């Protein structure tokens, strides 16, 4: 394998900007790596070497002419979850409904990446319309976990996480509505961040549940995630829920954290997230992570957030309700697929045939659940109640953050499960997001940082760090300090230990 692909985004950018290596060579090395391993992984739905090499050449040209790099990540390759619109590549959201659809505009995230000189190499696989926890709901087939090809890479952003974990790209962008950045990151040994709601523009992000959806970084190091966060984050007048405030100083926080001192930082361990249903090896890895935080000087306290027990059911009313409304736009008239339009049928019949053929079973389940929850006579009992639970969760977070600076928990109750293991059991699938959903419902910042391997199956475990809204930098500082301590104890970065896919010959 070309060693270039093992470098972090920060290292690659430094060498490119110093003109030790060219962005074109970096892009080529990653495209070669993708060609070698993606047949086994299927992380990408769409690859565009030409677009990537042209973007890389533009960065090299600018540097040769003596221009300063457009951003700290100029020239670095990146993969985009196939839920962000791109004018020069299709956007399918993992659905047959949007097969071959070419959007007429770039998402704000896409535009900011291009302006920053980041080299977009392609679009990554995902559960259909971001509904799922395993990437098995993609209409284009599952992605495999580079740590064990018989296992899922999590979801819905399994393609982005697998691509970063397998050294196909150093960076990716995902979206997190209930955990779709953090849970895949946890089970692939990558860093995944859900910024504060409103921190990254949703313009051009195909909507699933608008009050929860949030784009964010996937990387192999905390610093790389922070660098990407600053490129994609910040106010956007095109998104009505975008926060009109400066991006929290996450790069500065990641650098400060790397000094490895958490003296005076109060860390709360959420008592609700342990016990039955949690894999023993995950809980042991979490305990070790907490003891490292203590060794770094943090003060550890237990914090009870009783409403978190109701987060999952509330989410499965709110998210499907919003989805049933958002997905009404896929009617066979405006985008993508149209079925049965032979002149003999009414518009309603064509819509119905198109939706029958275009949506997979999980999307249909969510639309039915949401339509039911919003229907007259049930609205107050279901949707209304769920919104009240959401308020209680906000209050639990507010009370906790009076006592502590950040909250920690395992990111997900188990390590990566086997492909096929949970497809027939939606509830088991939904439980993957038990620990990540509260931060979506409350809108605050949360990330997952690799916390070593579980001692019962040798697979990656994630440490979740949650911070108050607009205090994303706190989570970065704690995660960066933890990362240094973990690598010191483990004898090197966890991500570098992913099995070499060429060697295992798959």
Give catalytic residue positions.
81, 156, 180
> Which strand (E) or helix (H) includes residue 281?
helix 280-295
d(CA 81, CA 122): 9
Task: Provide the strand spans (E) within 376-423.
Answer: 406-410
Q: How far is the CB of 112 from ligand GLN (least distance, A)?
A: 21
Cβ within 8 Å of residue 238, ≥6 positions away: 108, 201, 203
**Distance from CA of residue 363 to its chain's centroid?**
19
Backbone phi and psi for residue 75, each to the nearest 5 degrees, phi listed first: 95, -5
Q: How far is the CB of 151 from ligand GLN (least distance, A)?
A: 16
Task: Provide the strand spans (E) within 429-490.
Answer: 445-453, 460-467
Instruction: From 125-133, 237-245, 248-256, 281-289, give the range in contact with ligand GLN by CB under 6 A.
Output: 125-133
Options 92, 177, 190, 444; binder of ligand GLN; rule CB under 6 A: 177
Q: How far is the CB of 407 from ligand GLN (least distance, A)?
A: 19
d(CA 225, CA 60): 23
Q: CB nearer to ligand GLN: give 174 or 257.
A: 174
Q: Does 172 bind ligand GLN (CB under 6 A)?
A: no
The angle that helices 472-490 and 250-257 make with each other, rounded to 10 degrees, is: 30
Q: How far is the CB of 122 from ligand GLN (least distance, A)?
A: 20
Q: CB nearer to ligand GLN: give 23 or 130.
A: 130
d(CA 279, CA 291): 19
Instruction: From 109-117, 128-136, 215-223, 445-453, give the range in contact with ligand GLN by CB under 6 A.
Output: 128-136
Q: Does 131 bind ligand GLN (CB under 6 A)?
A: yes
Options 133, 135, 242, 324; binder of ligand GLN; rule CB under 6 A: 133
Q: Does 60 bind ligand GLN (CB under 6 A)?
A: no
Site string for ligand GLN, 202-241 (x = CB under 6 A): ------x---------------------------------
Cβ within 8 Å of residue 419, ≥6 positions away: 134, 136, 142, 144, 150, 151, 152
Neighbours of 175 (CB within 10 A): 26
Q: Does 136 bind ligand GLN (CB under 6 A)?
A: no
Q: Does 178 bind ligand GLN (CB under 6 A)?
A: yes
d(CA 351, CA 372): 20
Q: How far is the CB of 51 from ligand GLN (least distance, A)?
A: 26
Per the structure block, which two tokens stand in for 108?
Answer: 């704000």
Tell me, by CB under 6 A, how many residues bind ligand GLN.
14
Q: CB nearer to ligand GLN: give 289 or 441.
A: 441
- Write out the binding residues for ligand GLN, residues 395-434 only, by CB under 6 A: 433
Site string for ligand GLN, 140-159 (x = CB under 6 A): ----------------x---
Q: Does 311 bind ligand GLN (CB under 6 A)?
A: no
Per the structure block, which two tokens stand in for 164?
Answer: 């970063």
**Spatial CA neighbour of 191 closest among 500, 471, 460:** 460
Q: Does 135 bind ligand GLN (CB under 6 A)?
A: no
d(CA 455, CA 501): 22
Q: Does 319 bind ligand GLN (CB under 6 A)?
A: yes
**Distance from CA of residue 220 to its chain's centroid?**
13
Instruction: From 40-48, 94-102, 169-177, 333-341, give the range in contact with ligand GLN by CB under 6 A.
Output: 169-177
Residue 377's Cβ-count burial label (10 Å; 0-12, 13-18, 19+) is exposed
Cβ within 8 Å of residue 198, ≥6 positions away: 214, 239, 241, 242, 243, 443
Instruction: From 171-179, 184-192, 285-293, 409-417, give the range in contact with ligand GLN by CB under 6 A.
Output: 171-179
Q: CB nearer to ligand GLN: give 370 or 468.
A: 370
Options 142, 159, 179, 234; binder of ligand GLN; rule CB under 6 A: 179
Instruction: From 5-13, 124-132, 256-264, 479-487, give the range in contact with ligand GLN by CB under 6 A.
Output: 124-132
Do 121 and 52 meet the contact criterion of CB atoms below 8 Å apart? yes
Q: How far is the CB of 26 from ligand GLN (least distance, A)?
A: 30
Q: How far is the CB of 372 from ligand GLN (least distance, A)?
A: 17
Options 23, 63, 89, 130; binder of ligand GLN; rule CB under 6 A: 130
The 3 state secondary structure assigned to 137-153 is: CCCCCCCCECCECCECC
Residues that bind ligand GLN (CB under 6 A): 130-133, 156, 175-180, 208, 319, 433
């Amino acid at each position: 394998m070309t060693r270039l692909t093992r470098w972090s985004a920060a290292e690659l950018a430094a060498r490119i900007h110093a003109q030790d290596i060219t962005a074109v060579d970096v892009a080529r090395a990653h495209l070669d790596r993708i060609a070698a391993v993606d047949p086994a992984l299927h992380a990408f739905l769409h690859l565009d070497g030409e677009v990537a090499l042209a973007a890389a050449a533009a960065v090299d040209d600018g540097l040769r002419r003596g221009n300063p790099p457009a951003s700290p990540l100029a020239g670095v390759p990146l993969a985009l979850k196939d839920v962000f619109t791109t004018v020069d590549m299709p956007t399918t959201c993992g659905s047959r409904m949007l097969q071959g659809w070419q959007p007429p505009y770039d998402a704000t995230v896409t535009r900011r990446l291009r302006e920053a000189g980041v080299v977009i190499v392609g679009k990554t696989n995902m559960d259909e319309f971001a509904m799922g926890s395993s990437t098995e709901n993609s209409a284009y087939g599952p992605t495999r976990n580079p740590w064990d090809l018989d296992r899922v890479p999590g979801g819905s952003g399994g393609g982005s996480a697998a691509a970063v974990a397998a050294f196909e790209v150093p960076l990716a962008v995902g979206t997190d509505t209930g955990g779709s950045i953090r849970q895949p990151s946890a089970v692939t040994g990558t860093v995944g961040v859900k910024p504060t709601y409103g921190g990254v523009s949703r313009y051009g992000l195909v909507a699933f549940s608008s009050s929860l959806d949030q784009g964010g970084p996937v990387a192999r190091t905390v610093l790389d995630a922070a660098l990407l966060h600053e490129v994609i984050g910040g106010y956007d007048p095109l998104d009505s829920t975008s926060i009109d405030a400066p991006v929290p100083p996450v790069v500065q926080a990641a650098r400060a954290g790397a000094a490895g001192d958490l003296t005076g930082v109060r860390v709360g361990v959420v008592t609700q997230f342990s016990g039955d249903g949690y894999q023993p090896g995950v809980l042991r890895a979490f305990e070790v992570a907490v003891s490292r935080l203590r060794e770094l000087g943090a003060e550890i306290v237990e914090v009870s957030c009783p409403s978190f027990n109701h987060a999952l059911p509330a989410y499965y009313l709110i998210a499907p309700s919003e989805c049933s409304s958002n997905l009404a736009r896929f009617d066979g008239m405006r985008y993508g697929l149209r079925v049965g339009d032979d002149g003999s049928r009414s518009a309603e019949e064509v819509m119905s045939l198109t939706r029958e053929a275009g949506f997979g079973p999980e999307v249909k389940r969510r639309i039915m659940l949401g339509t039911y929850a919003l229907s007259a006579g049930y609205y107050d009992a279901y949707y209304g109640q769920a919104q009240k639970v959401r308020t209680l969760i906000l209050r639990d977070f507010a009370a906790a953050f009076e006592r502590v600076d950040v909250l920690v928990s395992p990111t997900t109750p188990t390590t990566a499960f086997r492909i096929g293991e949970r497809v027939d059991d939606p509830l088991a699938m939904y439980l993957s997001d038990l620990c990540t959903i509260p931060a979506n419902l409350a809108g605050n910042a949360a990330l997952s940082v690799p916390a070593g391997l579980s001692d019962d199956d040798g697979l990656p475990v994630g440490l979740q760090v949650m911070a108050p809204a607009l205090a994303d930098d706190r989570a970065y500082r704690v995660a960066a300090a933890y990362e240094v301590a973990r690598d010191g104890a483990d004898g090197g970065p966890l991500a570098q230990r992913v099995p070499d896919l060429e060697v295992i010959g798959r």
